[in-house]
Amino acid sequence: MDNRSFDDNRIAHGYACDRPWLHKQVIERLRSDLNIVKNFHNGLDVGCGAGLSTRALKLICDSVIGTDISAEMIQACKETYDASEYTFYVAKAEETHLPETPYGIVTAAGVINWVDKDAFLENMNLVMAPKALLVIYDFWISDHMLGNDAYTEWFHNFYLAEFPKPPRNEEVWHQSDLPEGFIIKDQVTYRMRHEFDLDAFIRFMMTQSNVNLQIQSGQKTVNEIYRQMKQTLSPIFCETRQTLIFDAYSWYIERQ
């Protein structure tokens, strides 16, 4: 994994403070889908960002480690989470360290779009215990707010027009694509909801990769984008809170 577009203090802070903790809902669904009734001994969270996904993994693990390619993200994690409960270090998804005890579960949230699949799974084969679980998941904003058609129009006619989606690998993994020793147990898609006020929604949108790329490249400034979004979104929010719909998926893969 060598995408460094997120390697920035502003984005690290935004991930830590301005993103909703939907990862908890993903873990709760995992627990229900696979009937998990007791904690794993240890877990690894690959591509942990500012630690929200690691915090979610801790709900079902006695101990957790989070890794990310971004030193700024890892620094944000270390400043946010208790070192007696969480360990973080900088590493590519394909190059996580060998643990003293192989992991019982590994999560990777919003990571596989950027990894070398074969190198990643080779690394997972080294660090995971037999029968361990690899959970690959992601969620993203949709073009739908509850009862708000004006948002759908804004999403397509302003947001995607001004901030085109950057290219990424969106390959869906199939059993035939995986090396021997990894079995897909299930792949599920679902939706989640989160309520925002106007300012919180804009701050969240400022952490999106397509927005961040324009800031990093110098095409637009943070203040310029914030003003644009406030001007175009104010009539949609009308000084009320709105519920955004997120699309999501989870893949449950077992190491044999």
* Tokens matching residue 83: 């070192």
User: 106 with 46: CB under 8 angstroms?
Assistant: yes
The domain spans of the chain are: 9-255
Alpha helical stretches, state H, 102-194: 117-127, 149-154, 160-162
Identify the pLDDT of residue 4: 42
Residue 6: the pLDDT is 45
Which CA distances in Å does 10 have to 79, 153, 223? 15, 29, 13
Residue 59, SS3? helix
Nearest to 27 by CA among 55, 64, 51: 55
* DSSP count for the chain of H helices, then E strands: 10, 7
**Domain 9-255: top CATH class:** alpha beta
pLDDT of residue 1: 37
Distance (Å, whole) CA 6 – CA 68: 11
The residue ranges of the chain whose pLDDT is under 70 are 1-8
pLDDT of residue 231: 98
Which residues lie below 8 Å from residue 72, measured CB to CB, with a gap of 6+? 7, 8, 9, 11, 12
Residue 81 half-sphere exposure toward CB, CA atoms < 13 A: 28
